[in-house]
């Protein structure tokens, strides 16, 4: 039985809790959160933009602490993994504290808000021989998982490239969204999902062209073209905030293979969601419409957390959630940020961790 302690009971702490309840061989044995009512089991104030609303939870048998430091200081607590659902600016310090205390770490995305902190977090977990996994959940979203597995099967040949999209309207409830030192803005909070997915599918870009708008110190919206060692790969991405509340969220992709194109688009309009379900358009003229079932994001978190618990039980790095890949995702975001600000092509070598 893998024992987990969750640090930070907000939107993600709640979604992770729900996933743990449905998995065998894993048990949440502790939580740490500053809100007294949540330590008493009243999670009804928790809100997010998907999943069920927070409710009363039964915390019998679960130890509660005001913060992560107190949890780690409890010599009587037996815990294998710390699940960090704290705000991004706290991730690096929390990861280090958990690893130094001998715990495996599962940390929500983004790994950190800059490359230096990512490198520190990865190095500390390596030094202490602890697994570091980062909640880059996108590869577990139904359509993204299907695309990933179809590509890996080799059925339609090699990757040629693709285009990716992730656009929201202003997240008015996140008052620090544009603060580079707290949430990091659209690239580090939002696009980091596609940055990681692009890294996973195509390898590490050697550089990026990116044009767009700044809001304050951070990129608000941009279009990016990625370069790879294989110069035949053509990969682009659109991401950021367009300030219309009529469409709070959209994402999608078109992925090109030798023998097929995989296409998917989802739009959360303010009145109702609309999806263009995933299709596989084949070279020989077929339009395949695979039956993928419910695309509820909560299922993606269950699949992600299943991988976390299995990787810990088997003490192996996760091929998808490992800290090094998440670190590369942040490097990609940093490259794009520099490219928008400078108006120049930015190579991976131009963006260092120190
Ligand atoms: N994977 C996804 O799709 C997804 C979606 C939303 C959020 N996230 C990520 O999850 C993380 C948490 O986001 P959230 O939406 O759950 O935030 P939240 O604000 O709902 O919850 C954060 C929790 O951390 C606690 N906290 C805040 N400041 C603290 C402090 N100084 N000391 C101790 N605890 C403190 C809060 O009290 C709260 O319990 C972020 O990194 C965010 O980017 C990921």
CATH value at residue 273: 3.30.360.10
- Percentage of the chain with pLDDT > 90? 94
Could you tell me if residue 314 is inside a domain? no
Over 80: is that where the pLDDT of 353 sits?
A: no
* Judgement on whether residues 173 and 262 belong to the same structural domain of the protein: yes
* Judgement on whether residues 165 and 203 belong to the same structural domain of the protein: yes
Local confidence band at 237 (pLDDT 50, 70, 90 cut-offs):
very high
Q: Would you state the pLDDT for residue 30? A: 98
Token pair recorded at residue 91: 């991730």
* Judgement on whether residues 85 and 200 belong to the same structural domain of the protein: no
Over 70: is that where the pLDDT of 149 sits?
A: yes
Ligand 1: centre distance to CA 89 (Å): 10
Please report the beta strands in 33-80, taking only residues with DSSP state E, as ranges in sequence order. Answer: 63-65
Dihedral angle of Cα 19, 21, 24, 25, to the nearest 10 degrees: 100
Ligand 1: centre distance to CA 109 (Å): 10
Q: Would you state the pLDDT for residue 73? A: 98
Average pLDDT of the chain, as a whole number: 96
Could you tell me if residue 279 is inside a domain? yes
Q: Would you state the pLDDT for residue 296? A: 81
* Judgement on whether residues 263 and 337 belong to the same structural domain of the protein: yes
pLDDT in tens, 135-145: 999 999 999 99
* Judgement on whether residues 159 and 131 belong to the same structural domain of the protein: no
* Judgement on whether residues 96 and 223 belong to the same structural domain of the protein: no
Q: Which residue minimizes the CA distance to atom 31 of ligand 1?
A: 90
* Judgement on whether residues 115 and 176 belong to the same structural domain of the protein: no
Could you tell me if residue 316 is inside a domain? no
Per-position b or e across 193-219, b if 16+ CB within 10 A of its CB? bbbbbbbbbbeebebbbbebeebeebb
Over 80: is that where the pLDDT of 352 sits?
A: no
Residue pair 225/153 in contact (Cβ under 8 Å)? The answer is no
Could you tell me if residue 294 is inside a domain? yes
* Judgement on whether residues 149 and 280 belong to the same structural domain of the protein: yes
Ligand 1: centre distance to CA 83 (Å): 11
Over 90: is that where the pLDDT of 173 sits?
A: no
Q: The domain spanning residue 121 has which CATH number?
A: 3.40.50.720
Residue pair 61/29 in contact (Cβ under 8 Å)? The answer is yes
Local confidence band at 170 (pLDDT 50, 70, 90 cut-offs):
very high
Collapsing DSSP to helix, strand or coil, 98 comes out as helix
Q: Would you state the pLDDT for residue 48? A: 83
Residue ranges lining ligand 1, Cβ < 6 Å: 8-13, 33-35, 67, 85-88, 108-109, 135, 137, 189
Distances (CA, A) of 225 to 180, 194, 294, 331: 23, 13, 32, 15
pLDDT in tens, 327-342: 999 999 999 999 999 9
* Judgement on whether residues 87 and 152 belong to the same structural domain of the protein: no
Residue pair 171/11 in contact (Cβ under 8 Å)? The answer is no
Ligand 1: centre distance to CA 91 (Å): 10
Could you tell me if residue 306 is inside a domain? no
pLDDT in tens, 107-137: 999 999 999 999 999 999 999 999 999 999 9
Ligand 1: centre distance to CA 87 (Å): 4
pLDDT in tens, 247-300: 999 999 999 999 999 999 999 999 999 999 999 999 999 999 999 987 788 899
Report the number of distinct structural domains present in the chain: 2
Q: Would you state the pLDDT for residue 49? A: 81
* Judgement on whether residues 161 and 293 belong to the same structural domain of the protein: yes
Residue pair 329/136 in contact (Cβ under 8 Å)? The answer is yes
Token pair recorded at residue 110: 């983004």
pLDDT in tens, 196-236: 999 999 999 999 999 999 999 999 999 999 999 999 999 99
Pocket mutation for ligand 1, best pick of 87, 94, 105, 171 (most atoms within 8 Å of C-beta): 87
Tell which atom from ligand 1 comes closest to the C-alpha of 48: 15
Over 80: is that where the pLDDT of 354 sits?
A: no
* Judgement on whether residues 167 and 114 belong to the same structural domain of the protein: no
Local confidence band at 89 (pLDDT 50, 70, 90 cut-offs):
very high
Local confidence band at 160 (pLDDT 50, 70, 90 cut-offs):
very high
Ligand 1: centre distance to CA 13 (Å): 7
What pTM was estimated for this model as a whole?
0.97
- Percentage of the chain with pLDDT > 70? 99
Pocket mutation for ligand 1, best pick of 5, 86, 111 (most atoms within 8 Å of C-beta): 86
Q: Would you state the pLDDT for residue 10? A: 96
Residue pair 107/137 in contact (Cβ under 8 Å)? The answer is no
Q: Which residue range forms the structural domain that includes residue 275?
A: 139-301+330-350
Pocket mutation for ligand 1, best pick of 6, 7, 11 (most atoms within 8 Å of C-beta): 11
């Amino acid at each position: 039985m893998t024992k987990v302690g969750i640090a930070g009971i907000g939107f993600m702490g709640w979604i992770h809790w729900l996933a743990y309840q449905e998995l065998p061989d894993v048990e949440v044995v502790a939580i740490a959160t500053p809100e007294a009512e949540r330590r008493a089991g009243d999670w009804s104030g928790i809100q997010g933009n998907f999943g069920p609303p927070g409710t009363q939870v039964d915390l019998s048998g679960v130890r509660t602490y005001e913060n992560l430091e107190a949890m780690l200081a409890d010599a009587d607590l037996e815990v294998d993994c710390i699940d960090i659902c704290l705000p991004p600016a706290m991730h690096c310090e929390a990861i280090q504290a958990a690893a130094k205390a001998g715990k495996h770490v599962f940390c929500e995305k983004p790994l950190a808000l800059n490359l230096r902190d990512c490198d520190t977090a990865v190095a500390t977990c390596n030094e202490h021989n602890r697994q570091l996994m980062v909640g880059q959940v996108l590869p577990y979203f139904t359509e993204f998982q299907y695309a990933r597995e179809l590509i890996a099967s080799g059925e339609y040949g090699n990757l040629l490239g693709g285009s990716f999209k992730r656009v929201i309207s202003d997240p008015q409830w996140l008052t620090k969204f544009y603060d580079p030192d707290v949430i990091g803005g659209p690239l580090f909070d939002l696009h980091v999902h596609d940055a990681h997915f692009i890294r996973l599918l195509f390898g590490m870009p050697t550089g990026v062209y990116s044009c767009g708008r700044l809001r304050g110190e951070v990129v608000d919206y941009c279009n990016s073209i990625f370069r790879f060692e294989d110069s035949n790969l053509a990969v682009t991405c659109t991401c950021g905030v367009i300030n219309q509340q009529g469409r709070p969220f959209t994402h999608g992709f078109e992925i090109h293979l030798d023998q097929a194109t995989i296409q998917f688009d989802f739009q959360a309009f303010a009145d109702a969601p609309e999806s263009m379900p995933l299709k596989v358009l084949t070279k020989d003229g077929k339009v395949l419409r695979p039956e993928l079932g419910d695309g509820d994001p909560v299922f993606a978190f269950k699949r992600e957390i299943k991988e976390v618990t299995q990787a810990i039980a088997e003490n192996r790095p996760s091929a998808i959630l490992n800290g090094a890949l998440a670190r590369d995702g942040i490097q990609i975001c940093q490259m794009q940020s520099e490219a928008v600000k400078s108006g120049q092509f930015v190579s991976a070598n131009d963006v260092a961790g120190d």
